[in-house]
Structure formats: C-alpha cells, structure tokens
Structure 1
C-alpha cells in the first residue's frame, strides 16, 4: 500500500460555502435581515436568471432565504455562488467544440458516432483495413495524439481536434 502526502497551500483551500455547494448542493448564507426591499427582490431575480443561464434552478426556500438578506450580503453571496459554480463548470478554461460547424455538423445519431469512435480506438491497428468501413490504405495516425483514424470514416475538415 502506498500513501502519498500532499500539502495544501492557503491559496488552494476552498471555503466552507464552496465545499458545501460542490459536495452537498447546499448554499451557505449569512444571517438574514429583518425586511425585504424591492431592490433585494430585483437582485434575487437577477441572480436567479444568472443561475438559470448556468443550468441551475433555485428552490423556493433558497429564494426566500436570499430575499431575506440585506442588499450588500446578497451581492456578496450571489457573486461568491456564481464564482463557485463557474469554477466547478470550468468557465475558466477554453472550450473548443469538436465540430468546426457546431451545432449544425453534429451527427444525428450521436450514439452510433460514439460507438464508431470507441471501436476505432480499441480495435484499429496500423497498416490494416479500417475496422468500420474495410477500406485499405485509409488509416493514418492523427497529429499530435497518434490515434489511428480512417480518412473515409472521419472527415478531417469537420473536426477541430482529434475525432477519437
């Protein structure tokens, strides 16, 4: 058995609210104010629309808890919530679509496309006919990953990365 020790620096530690959100789906909020103002309700609506853009819906109880916050606390909590979700969703990374003309060029049968890719990566051998179409001499390695790809089955003009 091998044990690896890791050191966590202060900059890489996640806050309690980030850990609760990631592991439990719970949102930690500070103590609430006593009254709800129209500005706070407008802020909650804007936060809710930002969350919907990211694919999240808030529950009625979370909406009530957010509406009970003071305006500065709502702004701080909302910004932190969005930042944590963006970090979990990978918003800080560049996302390059596999298909150059995305979404128009996405295959209609994505399951069959995925199955072909898995078969090609698992079964294709160099200098052998294509495992999908049987064409001789059409299988070549892709640069820089060296996956073996049939030029007949996978049109390189449509892919912005390795088709496998």
Structure 2
C-alpha cells in the first residue's frame, strides 16, 4: 500500500550574516546545513533551525507579499476566528510565538495574547448567565494549535523572532 511520506521543511537564521533562508539540506553526520538562498554551508551550531508546522498563513499587510506561506517555529502569528456567543458577534485574535510544547510533540503558541472585538456581550440575558470562554494567563502560556479549526486565511504571519525581535513585545 503506497503512502505519502512527509518530508519536514526547515529554514535557518544565520545571525552572523543576518540571513534567513530555506534549508537545502542538513547533513547530520558532518553537523552542517546548506542554505537554499546562497548555497553556503554552515555548522548546525551556528544557525537557528526552524521547522515548518505544516500550517499555512499570509504575511501581514505591511509586507509586500500576498502569497501563502509556511508557518515555522519562531514565527509570530495572529490567529483570527469568529464566534456568536448568545447571538452576539465577536471577532477573536490570539497573537504569539509558534513553538513546540514542553514535550516536543505538539505545536503551540507560547505566551499568547488574546483580544476580541465586537458587540458588547451582556453578562446575563433574561436572568440567564452568559458563559464566555475567555482564557486566563495560565491558559495562554501554551495554546495548542491543534485545538483550532482554521484555514490559511485565518493566520497572519507578523514576522519572526530573529529578524523582528520587537515582535516579542507584541506577543
């Protein structure tokens, strides 16, 4: 039975050269990485490797790029989703840094910031309390990405922590 083989995608940040590039190949025996953009070879210890999550998104409108992109570890993303709690429209955003969880087995958003816009939702209607699933700080420390049902249109890539360290203040 023929199956599809998933080939992990990587990119690398070479901080000395201030270069972000896709990875052409990794040689684990010699502990080297060849970058696609320059075909230069680097020691693995001299670059930050980032693995693709398998998710796709679009760059923030401040970038002149409308192509769908892979989401990698180290990216700062804004996830958007809509809800209608008790019939009231609400737009939700969660912004944070993509990373592997503490076990190294699942993709998460670390130290996420949550916000919402929309109609003012009352605490109760006709004596019935309205339950809102607003996350607390502990919930936002590691938000599993597999808990969302979204498409690439719902993910905005704001940048990454290597080229845009200022985004760490936003997330």
Fold match (TM-score > 0.5) = no
Q: TM-score range by the shorter chain?
A: under 0.3
Q: Name the structure where strand makes up a greater proportion of residues.
A: 2
Considering Cα pairs closer than 8 Å and 6+ residues apart, tell me whether 1 or 2 has the greater RCO: 2
The structure richer in helix per residue is 1
The normalised TM-score by structure 2 is 0.18
